[in-house]
């Protein structure tokens, strides 16, 4: 869990440098999004779409060595930046850690202020989707 | 912005702006630039004051009260009907029915005139550029009556293909329902010709006037349209109020829309007789305070004058179009021959949502998405656009702020 919080703290520090400037925050999100590798066109299927987002967001989970990994993409640059934050924090973690993760960075960086309600709701849907995948993987682990 | 700079054709934009309290604010640390006027425009102080004036001074239910307040409220309510009648040049004030807005007005016609007079195999014509409000009510009617919905195509510049319209007309055509000015493209349709051609085959014509009423001279008698729908909130008036104009003989032939108070003459459990128009279509206590304030919105437009409004908005439209076109990769969607002050655009490789959000960070309010015209977006093979729409209080300096912001986003996105 500490690793998840370490990454969150890093993100909080990065956004603190932007001093709450909305434009800068959005530019920074776009930059982060651009660094996230795009997913293959073939993977952009309806099955991988996160429901509840106004923009299109694709999320592809995988599971290796008891850790969860995510590929993600979006058709809008800012949203891709948002999902890249979640990938950065929650990829390479165990399902249990993902389930228990308290994502306090959202409030700390004042995200709802610079992305607005619609995107905030969409962001909530992304988190929900990731946690659902984590529950599913955890259930599988428990069966073994 | 200096006062001198904004005085054009005797129009003092600064003093007009001063009448809109909402414009005087910072959004995200920047002065608000409000370019979402096609969605709803802002309200002048006289409209806002009329709402509180009504509730503070003479709130009462209208028409059947004999006390002084009821009398005063009724007079103010009916005064708006007369003002609106004159504003769109209807022959009689009874031809003006108050509704919640354009959407309800169209639904009213589809559900009353449509249900009574449309039969199996009849045809209803709309266009590709219709707002969902002028598609769905007709689709529902067609489903119920096994009637057929026909659609006039649009060309690449955003004009309807008139010859195709003529081909669609036949003696099976019963209703043509078309938007006067497109909310997504700004296109002003040749409605006078559309109406006269429709009448030749005996069809009735409904005009969606949501985007045209505040910007163009409207004369329903000269147009000879059978129905005309409008919304107060796109005319500097309150939300939740609009109107339906209908020719007297049509309104009289139509069954009531909703049952309740006001719309009846006599009620017994055996039989109810209905009130005369317009009351037949105004069941229940209407939105009195907002209708009263709507009257002030009409005064506001009349005080400035449609010619002045239209001249100013056209100047803004031409300037915005010209400046936006300088941006690398930007494409204007909708370059019809005649337009109201709406400019829609897309930028290669940048999603409209991203532009909208970045604009908001700069205090600029634009709309992004399909603008409730999904079939039109499909026609152009796009998901949506960024739309800037201008009103009387907007300035070229504000357009510069928008264009500068968009250029910055484009540069940033292209570099990385």
* Catalytically annotated residues of B: 372
Contacts of A26 in chain B (CB under 8 A): 357-358, 361
pLDDT exceeds cutoff 90 at B1: no
Which one of A23, A75, A116 has the shortest CB-CB distance to B351? A75
Instruction: Read off the tokens for B58.
Output: 């003479």
Does A79 reach chain B within 8 Å, measured CB to CB? yes
Helix (H) or strand (E) holding A61, with range, is strand A57-64
Instruction: Read off the tokens for B388.
Output: 């800037």
More confident site: A51 or A6:
A6
Contacts of B413 in chain A (CB under 8 A): 30, 77
Q: What is the pLDDT of residue B3?
A: 41
The rounded distance, in Å, linking the Cα atoms of B279 and B271 is 18
Q: Are residues B27 and B57 in the same domain?
A: no
More confident site: A143 or B338:
B338
Average pLDDT, integer, range B113-120: 98
Q: Are residues B195 and B296 in the same domain?
A: yes
Kindly determine whether residue B361 and residue A77, on different chains, have CB atoms separated by under 8 Å. Answer: no
Q: What is the pLDDT of residue B264?
A: 85
384-413 of B, contacting A, C-beta below 8 A:
412-413
Kindly determine whether residue A30 and residue B354, on different chains, have CB atoms separated by under 8 Å. Answer: yes
Q: What is the pLDDT of residue B415?
A: 65
Q: Are residues B286 and B330 in the same domain?
A: no
Kindly determine whether residue B353 and residue A115, on different chains, have CB atoms separated by under 8 Å. Answer: no
Mean pLDDT, chain A, rounded, equals 90
Q: Are residues B196 and B330 in the same domain?
A: no
Distance from CA of A10 to the nearest CA of B (A): 23
Lowest mean pLDDT among A69-78, B147-156, B261-270, B277-286: B261-270
Which residue does chain A place closest to B364, by CA atoms? A23
- The answer to whether the beta carbons of residues B363 and B26 sit under 8 Å apart is yes
A-B Cβ pairs (cutoff 8 Å, strict): 43
123-142 of A, contacting B, C-beta below 8 A:
none
pLDDT in tens, B369-416: 999 999 999 999 999 999 999 999 999 999 999 999 999 989 888 765
pLDDT exceeds cutoff 50 at B277: yes
The rounded distance, in Å, linking the Cα atoms of A108 and A103 is 10
Lowest mean pLDDT among A140-144, B6-10, B141-145: B6-10
Distance from CA of B383 to the nearest CA of A (A): 10
pLDDT exceeds cutoff 90 at B65: no
Complex prediction ipTM: 0.85
Top residue of A18, A20, A21, A22 to mutate, by most chain B CBs within 10 Å, is: A22
Q: Are residues B84 and B13 in the same domain?
A: no
Which one of B29, B361, B383 has the shortest CB-CB distance to A26? B361
At B61, which CATH number? Answer: 3.40.640.10
Of B278, B302, B326, which residue is a domain's last?
Answer: B302
Query: 10 Å Cβ neighbour count for B382?
Result: 15
pLDDT exceeds cutoff 90 at A59: yes
Q: Is the peptide bond before A28 cis (omega within 30 degrees of 0)?
A: no
pLDDT in tens, B157-211: 999 999 999 999 999 999 999 999 999 999 999 999 999 999 999 999 999 999 9
- Partners of A97 in the β-ladder: none
Which one of B29, B353, B360 has the shortest CB-CB distance to A76? B353
Residues in chain A: 144
Q: Are residues B204 and B264 in the same domain?
A: yes
Q: What is the pLDDT of residue A116?
A: 77
Instruction: Read off the tokens for B25.
Output: 């604010």
Q: What is the pLDDT of residue B215?
A: 95
Does A48 reach chain B within 8 Å, measured CB to CB? no
For residue A50, the SS3 value is coil
For residue A70, the SS3 value is strand
Q: Are residues B20 and B63 in the same domain?
A: no
* Residues whose CB falls within 8 Å of the CB of residue A63, separated by 6 or more in sequence, listed in order: A69, A137
Q: Are residues B243 and B298 in the same domain?
A: yes
Which one of B358, B361, B416 has the shortest CB-CB distance to A31? B416
pLDDT exceeds cutoff 90 at B281: yes
pLDDT in tens, A87-123: 999 999 999 999 999 999 999 998 887 777 777 888 9
Does B348 reach chain A within 8 Å, measured CB to CB? no
Q: Are residues B149 and B264 in the same domain?
A: yes
Mean pLDDT, chain B, rounded, equals 95
* Structural domains in chain B (count): 2
Enclosing domain of residue B395: 3-43+305-415
Does A20 reach chain B within 8 Å, measured CB to CB? no
Pairing of strands B364-365, B33-34: parallel
Which one of B29, B361, B413 has the shortest CB-CB distance to A77? B413
The rounded distance, in Å, linking the Cα atoms of A139 and A134 is 8
- Partners of B125 in the β-ladder: B150, B176
Of B302, B328, B357, which residue is a domain's last?
Answer: B302
Average pLDDT, integer, range B249-277: 91
Helix/strand/coil (H/E/C) assignment for every residue in chain B = CCHHHHEECCEEHHHHHCCCHHHCCEECCEECEECECCCCCCCCHHHHHHHHHHHHHCCCCCCCCCCHHHHHHHHHHHHHHHHHHHHCCCCCHHHEEEECCHHHHHHHHHHHHHHHHCCCCCEEEEECCCCHHHCHHHHHHHHHHCCEEEEECECCCCCECHHHHHHHCCCCEEEEEEECECCCCCEECCHHHHHHHHHHCCCEEEEECCCCCCCCCCCHHHHCCCEEEEEHHHCCCCCCCEEEEECHHHHHHCCCCCCCCCCEEEECCCCEEECCCCHHHCCCCCCHHHHHHHHHHHHHHHHHCHHHHHHHHHHHHHHHHHHHCCCCCEEEECCCCCECCEEEEEECCECHHHHHHHHHHCCEECEEECCCCHHHHHHCCCCCEEEEECCCCCCHHHHHHHHHHHHHHHHHHHHC
Taking chain B, what is the end-to-end CA distance rounded to the nearest angstrom? 35
Q: What is the pLDDT of residue B2?
A: 41
Question: pLDDT band at residue B244, thresholds of 50, 70 and 90?
Answer: very high
Report CA dihedral (B95, B101, B103, B105) to the nearest 10 degrees: -10
Contacts of A34 in chain B (CB under 8 A): 416
Q: What is the pLDDT of residue A122?
A: 87
Q: What are phi and psi of B59, to 5 degrees?
A: -65, 120
Does B381 reach chain A within 8 Å, measured CB to CB? no
The rounded distance, in Å, linking the Cα atoms of B273 and B375 is 42
Q: What is the largest CA-CA distance in chain A?
A: 49
Average pLDDT, integer, range B100-118: 98
pLDDT exceeds cutoff 60 at A1: no
Sign of the torsion angle spanned by Cα atoms B311, B179, B209, B43: negative
Contacts of B350 in chain A (CB under 8 A): 77
Q: What is the pLDDT of residue B5?
A: 46
At B350, which CATH number? Answer: 3.90.1150.10
More confident site: B85 or A55:
B85
The rounded distance, in Å, linking the Cα atoms of A54 and B177 is 31
Average pLDDT, integer, range A13-18: 93
Class of domain A2-143: alpha beta
Which residue does chain A place closest to B362, by CA atoms? A23
More confident site: B63 or B76:
B76
pLDDT in tens, B303-344: 999 999 999 999 999 999 999 999 999 999 999 999 999 999
Of B257, B279, B302, which residue is a domain's last?
Answer: B302
Q: Are residues B98 and B229 in the same domain?
A: yes
- Partners of B365 in the β-ladder: B34
Q: Buried b vs exposed e over A39-55: b needs ≥16 C-beta within 10 Å?
A: beeeeeeeebebeebeb
Instruction: Read off the tokens for B18.
Output: 């001063």
Q: Are residues B135 and B84 in the same domain?
A: yes
| Separation of CA A78 from chain center | 12
């Amino acid at each position: 869990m500490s690793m998840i919080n370490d990454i969150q703290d890093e993100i909080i520090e990065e956004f603190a440098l932007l001093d709450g400037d909305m434009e800068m925050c959005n530019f920074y999100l776009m930059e982060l999004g651009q660094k996230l590798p795009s997913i293959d066109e073939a993977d952009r299927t309806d099955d991988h779409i996160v429901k509840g987002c106004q923009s299109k967001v694709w999320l592809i989970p995988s599971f290796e060595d008891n850790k969860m990994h995510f590929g993600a993409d979006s058709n809008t640059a800012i949203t891709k930046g948002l999902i890249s934050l979640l990938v950065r924090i929650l990829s390479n973690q165990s399902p249990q850690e993902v389930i228990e993760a308290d994502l306090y960075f959202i409030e700390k960086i004042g995200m709802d202020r610079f992305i607005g309600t619609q995107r905030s709701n969409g962001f909530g849907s992304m988190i929900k989707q990731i946690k659902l995948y984590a529950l599913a993987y955890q259930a599988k682990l428990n069966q073994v | 912005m200096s006062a001198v700079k904004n005085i054009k054709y005797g129009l003092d934009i600064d003093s007009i702006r001063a009448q809109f309290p909402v414009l005087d604010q910072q959004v995200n640390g920047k002065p608000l630039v409000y370019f979402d006027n096609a969605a709803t425009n802002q309200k002048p102080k006289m409209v806002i004051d009329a709402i509180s004036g009504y509730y503070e001074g003479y709130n009462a239910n209208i028409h059947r009260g004999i006390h002084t307040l009821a009398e005063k409220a009724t007079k103010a309510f009916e005064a708006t009907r007369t003002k609106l009648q004159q504003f769109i040049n209807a022959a009689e004030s009874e031809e003006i029915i108050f509704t919640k807005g354009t959407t309800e007005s169209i639904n009213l016609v589809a559900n009353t005139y449509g249900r009574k007079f449309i039969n199996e195999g009849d045809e209803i014509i709309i266009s590709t550029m219709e707002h969902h409000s002028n598609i769905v009510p007709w689709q529902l009617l067609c489903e119920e009556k096994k009637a057929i919905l026909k659609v006039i195509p649009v060309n690449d510049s955003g004009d309807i293909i008139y010859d195709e319209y003529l081909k669609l007309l036949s003696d099976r055509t019963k209703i043509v329902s078309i938007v006067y000015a497109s909310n997504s493209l700004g296109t002003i349709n040749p409605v006078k010709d559309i109406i006269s051609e429709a009448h030749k085959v005996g069809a009735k014509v409904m005009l969606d006037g949501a985007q045209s009423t505040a910007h163009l001279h409207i004369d329903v008698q000269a147009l000879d349209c059978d129905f005309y729908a409008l919304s107060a909130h796109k005319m500097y008036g309150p939300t939740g109020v609009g109107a339906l104009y209908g020719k007297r003989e049509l309104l009289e032939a139509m069954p009531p829309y909703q049952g309740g108070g006001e719309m009846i003459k006599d009620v017994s459990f055996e039989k109810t007789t209905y009130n005369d128009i317009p009351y037949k279509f105004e069941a229940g206590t209407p939105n009195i305070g907002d209708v009263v304030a709507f009257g002030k919105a009409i005064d506001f437009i009349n005080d400035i004058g449609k010619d002045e409004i239209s001249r100013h908005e056209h100047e803004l439209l031409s300037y915005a179009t010209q400046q936006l076109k300088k941006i690398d990769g930007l494409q204007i969607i909708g370059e019809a021959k005649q337009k109201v002050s709406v400019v829609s655009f897309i930028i290669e490789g940048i999603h409209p949502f991203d532009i909208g959000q970045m604009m908001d960070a700069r205090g600029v309010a634009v709309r992004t998405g399909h603008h409730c015209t999904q079939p039109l977006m499909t026609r152009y093979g796009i998901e949506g656009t960024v739309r800037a729409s201008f009103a009387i209080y907007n300035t070229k300096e504000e357009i510069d702020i928008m264009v500068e912001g968009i250029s910055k986003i484009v540069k940033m996105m292209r570099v990385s």
